[in-house]
Structure 1
Amino acid sequence: MSTSSARRPPLGFLMLLGTMAAVPAMTMDMYLPSLPEMTRDLNTTQALVQGTISGVMIGSAMGSLLSGPLSDRFGRRRPFFAGMALHVVMSVLAAISPNITTLLAVRVLQGMGNATATIAAFSALRDRFTGPSQSSGMSWIQTVIAVVPLAAPAVGGWIAHHWGWRAVFIALAVFGLVVMAMVALLLEETHPPERRNPNASPIRAFGPLVRDPRFLAVAVVPAMATTVLFTYISASSFVLQEGFGLTPAQFVIAFAVNGVMIIVGAQANSRLVYRVGTPRMLWVGLLGSLLFAALLLVASLTGIGGLWGFLVPLALLLVFNFLTMPNAVTLALKHHGRRAGSAAALVTATQQLLAGILSPFVAVLGGGAPAMSIVLLAAVLVALLFAALNRRLERRA
């Protein structure tokens, strides 16, 4: 099956891949409004219930590292269906979990299963498209992934309000079945037998990747862009409501506006990348992110502009962050088409690991707007450093 760098990926194809890639985010965010109810119902602590979020992230990282090499060996569909079947079963078990210990274990396995959906989506895009076409398609996928954390809590909260928190996990099982049916009917195998790597295994598949300094350098960039997004999502509620005095309704409006800005950035990239090219668009995103992250820190430390002095650079930072992320992922997969599944797995696991470790540093630094701004600026600076290293290595190659 040939790949293309010039023609635009079909919108239906991209929406399907975006839906697949959003399964882990849906699993992580849909039940967030139910955490207090779960704490009471399971007679446990808030810390342990919040641990179910970490559990699914850990499971997703592990599942990514396992499913990537398997998709290079057996094709994209078979590991996807196996993983999603595990997701569906674990979702049902989560709904009937009698205690927090069972729920914690089930959530790890649930994350391992649904990680195959993201890996299959990223790999299928790389199988079909390269260069600007891949970057454009990745923008659409990242748009869906970014919008899910904004919408999933509202949907999950509505379900929990009417039927309780256990119904949220039943809904996740149904969602998994729907995605499986969509893939079965609409997505043919994109990695045919003649292109597969029969020797791929979770142990050996990553050797060529970790020995490629260009891959290692650029793989850090989307991880830092994800850190920016996770930091914003996890800290903005406290910063805007406690720090700036927004009401819950006002915060929802601000959060929704920033969600629109994320879409603007991703969609702008999907169009501009054909004219400018993937490497240049990456640098546009990074330099724009640096500018507005710096302005955000200045506004946080000085109070210049008050609320608007904080909100405007934050929104523009999110726009440029979504010029950075899809192009960085595209460049990470650039030289590893035959190992696209393994490469996507390592990129995804790096994103989850580093973002999960770094985003809580807002609380470590004391919380508030300055702490959030420091973490955001630090993530952008690290991304710039590794992007510069990658560019230097590419020129030497």
Structure 2
Amino acid sequence: MNKSVPMYFLILIAAIPSFSLDIYLPSMLEIQHELLLSESMLQMTLTVFVVTFAFIQLIFGPLSDRYGRKNILLIGLSFFLVGSFIAVFSSNITQLLIARACQGIGSCAGVLSAFSIARDCFEAEERPIVLSTIAMYVGIAPIIAPVIGGILKDYFGWRSIFMLLGLLSVFLLILTVTLLQETLSKEHQNTQVQALQSYKMISIHPVFTYYTGIATLAFAGLFCFITTSPILLIDQLGLSAKLFGVMFALNAFSFLLGAKYSAFLNQKTTPDQCILLGLCLMLTGGIIMFALMQFIGLNLLGLLIPMMIATFGIAIIIPNCTSLMLEPFANKAGSTTALNTFIRFIAAGVVSMIVGYLNINNQLFLSVFLSFAALSGLLLVMVRLNMIQKQREQSS
């Protein structure tokens, strides 16, 4: 196995989506006022990013398995650079949406390449630890991103945020050209027809559907908070952009701790047990948030502390689901990662649209959604355990 790819490089390219998504959250209300946007139009800047990110996975996944990880990453980062440039000079919602779509394409290439390279370079027993380590450090991105975004917004305006993202894309392009050697071996390269046909085989594989289902529920719960947080914290609780960044960073710090704890747990227990623990923590956070909402109403600590508990659990769930989901697909890591991410981000996009168009930016909806997602994940676990038990009885 080629393990010459630096871990920090995988972390940087995997962090592109969360960093570029979270850094401009403190500026959303300023963008709304300057460009004269309705709340639903403002939510579209999130939705377009997420939906573009999801759909481009289906194109980049097979291309990555056919033409290699490096080529796709270079194309994606170029789109990200163009999108950042357009955003800096955007004067209306159409231009900004085009910019966010281009950034969604670039972000897609980053995370797809990171997981595919990890699948290329590490053995099955190493992969859960590697992916949890990547998730742990990627968790730093949403900690620092809103803080940086809040500072840039206060001192230089919201356009400076996209200028910084453009400089970041240039830096990553230079690293890709100088550091990255192709990790996809010749014998694992698919033809274009094989790559496209693989989606059907992957989508009906029970391992893929099970772990993708659980990861999707967890990710949708996290994205529900991301979508509602600017309204809850800035508009309803009256936090400044910089203080919003700090509060958002605290929740992201919980994700970092959860990913770190997951990497520790992977050395002592099975990934399936880690997933079960994560779902229980997610459910606990949702229930506590709902109870506090009933007794004390909307309150900063009553929102933040339960969300940190749920986020800690989500950080355990996602890397373990990703590792186990990839296990059966040695030569289809790109397509498998693409389909998995497509499903997760389409679910996130649907959540964003529901929140925006129904105007349900409130703590009650967030707590109910977190609890529902966790309970649904636990139901999937019970169904799978029942199926495994029946298979064992039939074989014996």
> Pick from 377, 381, 393: which aligns with 1:383?
377
The equivalent of 1:142 in structure 2 is 135
Q: 1:177 to 1:381 in 2, by over 3 A?
A: same
> 1:57·1:352 contact (CA, 8 Å) conserved in 2?
yes
CA shift, 1:394, in A, is 6.0
Structure-2 change in CA distance of 1:162 and 1:241 (3 Å): closer
In the alignment, which residue of structure 2 is the partner of 1:286?
279
- Aligned pairs for 1:150-299 within 5 A: 150-200=143-193, 203-236=196-229, 238-239=231-232, 248=240, 254-299=247-292
Which of 94, 100, 111 lines up with 1:107 in the alignment? 100
* CA distance in 2: counterparts of 1:269 and 1:285, whole angstroms: 9
- Tell me the SS of whatever aligns to 2:72: helix
Quick check: 1:82 aligned with 2:75? yes
Q: CA deviation at 1:262?
A: 1.8
Residues 1:317 and 2:310 aligned together: yes
State how many pairs are aligned.
389
Distance 1:255 1:110, change over 3 A: closer
Q: Shift of the alpha carbon at 1:361? A: 5.3
Write the letter of the residue equivalent to 1:384. Answer: L
Asked whether the equivalents of residues 14 and 111 of structure 2 are also in contact (C-alpha less than 8 Å), the reply is: yes
The one-letter amino acid of 1:152's match is A
Letter in 2 for 1:67: F
Comparing 29-38 with 170-179, which one deviates more in the overlay?
29-38
Contact between 2:146 and 2:249, CA under 8 Å: does it hold in 1?
no
Percent of counterpart pairs with the same letter? 27
- Measured after TM superposition, the shift of residue 80 of structure 1 is 0.9
User: 1:259: how far off?
Assistant: 2.7
List per-residue Cα deviations over 1:10-61 (Å, max 9, x = no partner): 9x83332121012122332323333344445545555434422222112111
SS of the residue corresponding to residue 191 of structure 2 reads coil
**What is the TM-score of this pair, normalised by structure 1?**
0.85
TM-score by length of 2: 0.86
User: Where in structure 2 are there 5+ consecutive unaligned residues?
Assistant: none
Please name the residue that 1:335 is paired with: 328
Q: Which amino acid aligns with 1:374?
A: V
Equivalent position amino acid for 2:9 in 1: L
Q: Over residues 143-193 of structure 1, what are the superposed CA-to-partner deviations in whole Å (9 max), with x where a residue is unaligned?
A: 344432332233234334444433332321211111122233333222121
Instruction: Calculate the aligned-residue CA RMSD, in Å.
Output: 3.2
Q: Is the 8 A contact 2:28 2:230 kept in 1?
A: no
Paired letter, 2:100: R
Query: Is 1:127 aligned to residue 120 of structure 2?
Result: yes
Aligned to 1:23: 16
The answer to whether the 8 Å contact 1:218/1:390 transfers is: no
1: CA distance, partners of 2:378 / 2:344 = 16
Supply the distance in 1 between the matched residues of 2:84 and 2:194 (Cα, whole angstroms).
27
Q: Does the aligned pair in 2 maintain the 1:365–1:371 contact within 8 Å?
A: no
Quick one: structure 1 residues 356 and 390, their matched pair in 2 at CA, closer, same or farther if it must change by over 3 Å? farther
Per-residue deviation, residues 357-389 of structure 1 (Å, max 9, x unmatched): 235656759554332210100111122223444
* Aligned residues of 1:218 and 1:387 also touching (Cα < 8 A): no
Partner of 1:143: helix, strand, or coil?
helix
